[in-house]
Amino acid sequence: MTARPSSSGRRRPPAVAAALAVVLPAVLVTACGRAGPVTGSAGRPDSPPRYPAARDVSVPGSSVHTRAVRRGTVRVGVKSDHPFLGFEDPVTGRRYGFDIEIATMIAADLGFPADRIRWQTVPPQARETALAQKDIDYYVAAYTINDERKKRVSFAGPYYVAGQDLLVRAQDTGIRGPGDVRGRRVCSVDGSTPYQRISQARYGARVVGHDSYAHCVQDLITGMVDAVTGDDAILKGYAAQNGRRLRVVGRPFSREPYGIGLAHDEAALRGAVNDALQHHMDNGDWLRAYRATLGRAGGPLPRPPLLRRY
């Protein structure tokens, strides 16, 4: 006996409901959508500083710069999901964050005003390839300088010294440093360096991995985990994004100097970028940019690091 679906009386409603629920968004778009970015959406600094672009800049010996001048635009590789660090508003497509400010400063000193910058979101596994193949001119995205990477790319900077730190709920006074995570649930991004470091036996933490910091932060807010670990620059962005609810512990237990990623053979460009960094560190732009972005998480104001030219 073949089955007669007992919901035969509901023949029409599902199809009608289905059609409606698919057509509705289309109607909404044409009808009553509010334009502009979502208010309160993450990562927008209060009053972003402006940097006057230098004129007639030439960097002899840099093929990347020559090509960029000929093109009229400079291509910068960045991240798009680190609030207040390297962030892209999903609605308007505009970029905000400390890394974005640094990149804009450099572009200005290289002769490119802000509207001549072409931003590209480059996933971490593709950044060395992108630099080597000159798909991007330089890379500013929480990129830690280390000797292993220096074999494939070159670095200008450091422009910020981060360190692995912990993000906790504001009222949780129990965690004051990496020594306090024993037995507590700590979240990080699967496979990342902070994840591997906190998984070491000496910390004794119950480590949970997610595919994004945002998911970790959501779990922290709801109470599924007790702390999120990562570079303090990234964590400060999330703290700033969530008002008074989260705080960064402020006891970094590693040293992550962030550098500007450049192609391996671009020594002249490296010098020019280092000059640009020094210029903006000296004239106060660096501090102003920090205060407008990561500084909103609170905590003591850092000093610009010493550049290491090579």
Partner 1 sequence: MLSPRPSPLFEVPGQRARRRHSLYTMLTAAAALLVGVLVLVRLSGAGQFTAALWEPFTYEGVQRRILTGVVDTLTAFALAAVLSLLLGLLLAGGTLARHRPVRVTATTVVAFLRAVPVLILVFTLYNLTALRLLLDRTGTTLSGHLGDAGTWAAVHVTDVTLWALVLGVALHNGAVQADILRSGIRAVPRGQVEAAHALGMSRTQTAWSVVLPQAVRAMLPSIVAQLAVTLKDTSLGFIIMYEELLYVGKLLAQNIATPRGYPYLPVLFVVGLLYVAMCLAISALARRLARRSTRAPNVSRDPEESRR
Partner 2 sequence: MHVLLDNADLFLEGFAGSVRLTVASTLLALLLGVALAACRVSPVPLLRALSATAVRLLCSTPLTVLFFGVTLGLPVLGLTSLGYFSLAVLTLGAYSGAFLCEALRSGVNTVDTSQAEAGRGLGLSPVQVAWLIVLPQAARTALSPARSIIVTLAKNSALAGGFSVPELFGAEKALLERGYAVGVVFLWVTLAYLLLIALISGVFLVVERRLAVPC
Residue choice 130, 156, 217, 228 for contact with partner 1 (CB under 8 A) = 217
- 208 is an interface residue for partner 2 by CB under 8 A: yes
63, 144, 218, 278: which one binds partner 2 (CB under 8 A): 218
CA distance 144 to 294: 18
Per CB under 8 A, 40 contacts partner 1:
yes
**Torsions phi, psi for 288 (to 5 deg):** -65, -45
**Among 133-141, 167-175, 217-225, 290-298, which window interacts with partner 1 (CB under 8 A)?**
217-225
- The reply to whether 132 sits near partner 1 by the rule CB under 8 A is no
Helix (H) or strand (E) holding 248: strand 246-248
Distances (CA, A) of 26 to 34, 186, 192, 202, 310: 14, 41, 39, 54, 56
* Residue 123, amino acid: P
Taking CB under 8 A as the criterion, the residue among 30, 39, 222, 244 binding partner 2 is 222
Tokens found for residue 38:
């979502």
Shortest separation between residue 224's beta carbon and partner 2, angstroms: 5
Query: Whose CA is closest to 91, among 29, 133, 153?
Result: 29
**Candidate list 57, 114, 207, 214; residue touching partner 1; CB under 8 A:** 214
Q: Which is nearer to partner 2, 6 or 47 (CB)?
A: 6
Tokens of 57: 């800049």
Options 23, 93, 211, 212; binder of partner 2; rule CB under 8 A: 211
Kindly state the greatest CA–CA separation across the chain: 85
Contact flags string 2-31 toward partner 2, x per CB under 8 A: xxx-xx--x---x-----------------
SS3 48: coil
At position 45, the amino acid (one-letter code) is P
* Contact residues for partner 2, defined by CB under 8 A: 1-4, 6-7, 10, 14, 190-191, 208-211, 215, 218-219, 222-224
